[in-house]
Every structure is written in structure tokens, then in C-alpha cells.
Amino acid sequence: MIKIGIIGGAGYTAGELLRLMIHHPKIIIKSVVSKSNQEKFIHLIHQDLLGEIDNMKFTRSLKKELDVVFLCSGHGESRKELNNINILEKTKVIDLSQDFRIFHQSSFKKRNFIYGLPELQKKIIKKSNNIANPGCFATAILLAILPLAKNQLLKNNIHISAITGSTGSGRKNSDTNHFSWRNNNISVYKIFQHQHLQEIQQTIHQVQNNFCNKIYFVPYRGNFSRGIIITLYTHTIFSLEKNKEIYKEFYKNHPFVNISDVNIDLKQVINTNKCILYLIKENDQLIVISIIDNLIKGASGQAIQNMNIIFNLDETCGLKLKSIRF
């Protein structure tokens, strides 16, 4: 069994990790660290786990003999955590923050982090000990772009709009994620400046190094709790059918990405590790709609997918989840 530790155990991503892990056949959860909830029962914070792990409490520190540690402390905290805790060199680390995603920030002491997008770097991930889990917007957007980049077809500017649920802001209360503000409301933020643009641009250049055009990204705060839907368009020289062939060929060996022939909606992916893509062509523009659950494929599910790859398990182990439609 794979012995697991989690740091930052009280947040949304850690809660989803726990929910998925308790049914994973190859995992045993050894310790869940929360500085603000030490010695509290985990199900008092993650109340959906009542009846699942009733006897487990948050701890102050990790147990030493662990196979993998998941860092869920939030952006800017992972380096501090690695500096303050004693993790064995052989213990693998999967970080769910943005601290190690950019190449020039990807090393810490003796650890070198690999950008963990399985649909792009599965072979590299398989040999890695340290994974920087991609951001949620970045995951949805890159999965919509990569087949074009792989075929050197990104020759023009890319325009993206995307809307995310309130859980994308984390568990801490703010003016823009509590119910009375989000309900019956919508707003844009960080226009053309969202932090995930760095990892998106970095990854596109990794695949198509001659890409020199602009990416115009407008993110929206949605009035729902979870999920991301993005709409992306760029110039194409091919027919819709040819573009569909390119996408289906690229993802033929990737079990969590599906190409739909009919229009899609967000509920199709909620509570799953799937990304579903829908392609349209209008005049000379290829339009790609991409949907994911921001907490699963955009965070905790993808982290477990990476763990499965590292430990030579079936990629889908513990992640065969059905969407919640009603």
C-alpha cells in the first residue's frame, strides 16, 4: 500500500483528496496536517467524510515513513512547508500550489519539480519524484490547445474566456466568494493578467517553440460552487472534421479527455476527473469549449492521477467517477 501524508489538510483540495483517497484501493492515509485544526476530528471540518474516517484527527506533523506527501497549503506556502518539515529524500512530493510550476522556480534544495500535466508529460512524470500539479484554469485551457500546438498549428492570437466556481478561490472567506455576493452575480477579474497565463505560455512554448502570438484570457467568477467552462478561439486553416481528427488522435491514449460531437454542459464533468472538449468552426475560426471540475481534474484528481502514474498503477485507479447530473 502507498503511505500518504497531506499538509494543509483543512482546505478544499485536501478535502477532495481525502474523499477520493478513502476509496482508492492502493492507498493508506497515514497523517493529515492542519496547523489551525490540530487534534480535531477530520470529519468536523470535512463534514462529507462523516461515517468515512470518523476516528482520524488532524495532526501537527507528518509521520516520517511516507511514500508520497501532498502539499495543499496554498500558493506561496509550499516552499515554507518544505523548509520547515523533515521529509525523507526518497519520499515523493506532489504540490498543488503554483510555487514550482514555472521552470525558473521549479527547484528547491535537492528537489526538482516536473510540471504534472499527464496528457503532455506522462513518460517524464513516471520517472519523477516531485510534481508541480497544474492550475485549474491552465488545465482546462491547455487541454483545449495542446493538439494544435503539437501539430505546430498555432499561428495567430488565442482568445479565451473562462468561468469558474467559487471553490476556485479556496476555503477562506473573501468579499467575492461568499454566497450573498456570488448568488445571482457574475464578474470578471485579472483580465489578461491571470497568474495561470505563465504556465500556459510556458507549456505552449515547450510544445510549439515558434509560437509568438498573444493569448488574451478573460476569467469570470461564476455563481456556482465548482467547475470550469472555457471558450477558446483561434484561426484555423483546416475543416472542422480535420481538426476533430487532430484532437482525437492526440488524446487517443489519454483516458480522461473526451471529444464530444454535440454541445456540452458543465454538469457532465462535475465530480469526475474528465475533461470534455467540443469543437466548432465559424468562418476561419476554430472554437474549442473545454469543461472540467476545478477541484478534481483541476486539482486533487489530477494529483492522484499523477501519483498513479509515478507508482505504475493504472492511470484511472481510484478515479473512475461518474458525473452528478441532477
Catalytic machinery residues = 136
- How would you label 154-175 residue by residue, b for 16+ Cβ within 10 Å and e otherwise? beeebbbebbbbbbbbeeeeee
Q: What is the dihedral of CA 218, 140, 196, 253, to 10 degrees?
A: -150
Could you report how far apart the first and last alpha carbons of the chain are, in Å? 35
How many other CB atoms are there within 10 angstroms of residue 258's CB atom?
16
3-state secondary structure of 51: coil
Report the alpha-carbon distance of residue 297 to residue 279 in Å, rounded.
20
> C-alpha cell of 35?
496547523
Concatenated DSSP letters of 70-113: EE-S-TTTHHHHHHHS---TTSEEEE-SSTT-SGGG-EETTEEP
Cell of 105: 522556480
- Output DSSP code: residue 47: G
Q: Which of 97, 110, 107 minimizes the C-alpha distance to 71? A: 97
- Residue whose grid cell is 497515514: 30
